[in-house]
């Protein structure tokens, strides 16, 4: 009986909602016809010539003005896009030249201290933080280093080293990685 009761209740609510929507549609249609009737009365009161001249002349002037504004906005947008493109290209060229200058200047020395108890992930993250490797996990996968073979200490890296050079430096004595000072 509970199932039948809820069915009847739902059916009743659905019928009521349908009636309300139908009433809303009918009242909207009546309002539209009233609005059309009022608009026709107003246009007849002005006179057919006045309303048509005002509508045609005003609309054509308005359309031409809007078209001119749209064209001006399009030209301004193209100009701004060109300026932005030039600015982006200049910034990229500047960054490239700075990066090339840094790479040519191999006199930079990075020091990385490996302490007792550090795991391989921590060492990889340490190298990534020092900007020696771009991706710590990729470096560890490629080099397949073992923590047992890496000694604790301070390792020095000069210039931009690739993965093999970093691996060789980490596998030898930290004291041997100390840079030699050039006498002037």
Q: Rounded to whole angstroms, how far apart are CA atoms 171 and 104?
A: 26
CATH of 107-177, one of 3.20.20.100, 3.60.60.10, 3.30.1490.480, 3.20.20.120: 3.30.1490.480
**Mean pLDDT of the residues in the chain:** 82
Length of the chain: 184
Better-scored residue on pLDDT, 1 or 148:
148
Band of residue 183 on the pLDDT scale cut at 50, 70, 90: very low
> What's the pLDDT tens digit per position in 114-161?
888 888 889 888 888 888 888 888 888 888 887 777 888 898 887 767
Can you give the pLDDT at residue 184? 42
DSSP state of 144: -
Q: Rounded to whole angstroms, how far apart are CA atoms 85 and 91?
A: 10
Q: Are 159 and 108 in contact (CB under 8 A)?
A: yes
Q: Is the pLDDT of residue 107 over 70?
A: no
The stretch 65-69 carries a mean pLDDT of: 91
Please report, in angstroms and rounded to a whole number, the separation of the first and last CA atoms in the chain: 104
- Domains in the chain: boundaries: 47-105, 107-177
Better-scored residue on pLDDT, 149 or 92:
92
Q: Is the pLDDT of residue 38 over 70?
A: yes
156: β partners: 111
Can you give the pLDDT at residue 60? 84
Paired tokens of 150:
């890496």
Can you give the pLDDT at residue 16? 94
Q: Rounded to whole angstroms, how far apart are CA atoms 70 and 62?
A: 12
SS3 state of residue 155: strand
Q: Are 168 and 150 in contact (CB under 8 A)?
A: no
Can you give the pLDDT at residue 58? 65
> Any idea of the CA torsion for 162, 163, 167, 169, to the nearest 10 degrees?
20
% of the chain surpassing 90 pLDDT: 15
The stretch 19-44 carries a mean pLDDT of: 86
The stretch 164-179 carries a mean pLDDT of: 81
Q: Which residue in 182, 110, 122, 184 sits closest to 152, CA to CA?
A: 122
């Amino acid at each position: 009986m509970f199932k039948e009761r809820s069915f009847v209740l739902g059916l009743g609510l659905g019928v009521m909602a349908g009636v309300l929507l139908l009433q809303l549609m009918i009242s909207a249609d009546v309002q539209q016809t009233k609005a059309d009737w009022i608009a026709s009365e107003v246009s007849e009161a002005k006179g057919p010539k006045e309303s048509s001249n005002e509508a045609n002349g005003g609309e054509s002037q308005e359309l031409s003005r809007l078209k001119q504004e749209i064209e001006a906005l399009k030209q301004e947008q193209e100009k701004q896009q060109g300026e932005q493109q030039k600015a982006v290209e200049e910034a990229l060229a500047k960054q490239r030249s700075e990066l090339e200058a840094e790479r040519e200047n191999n006199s930079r020395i990075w020091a990385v201290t490996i302490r007792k108890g550090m795991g391989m992930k921590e060492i990889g993250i340490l190298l990534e933080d020092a900007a020696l490797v771009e991706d710590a996990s990729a470096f560890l996968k490629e080099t397949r280093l073992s923590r047992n073979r890496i000694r604790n200490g301070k390792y020095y890296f000069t210039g931009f080293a690739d993965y093999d050079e970093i691996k060789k430096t980490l596998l030898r004595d930290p004291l041997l990685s100390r840079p030699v000072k050039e006498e002037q």
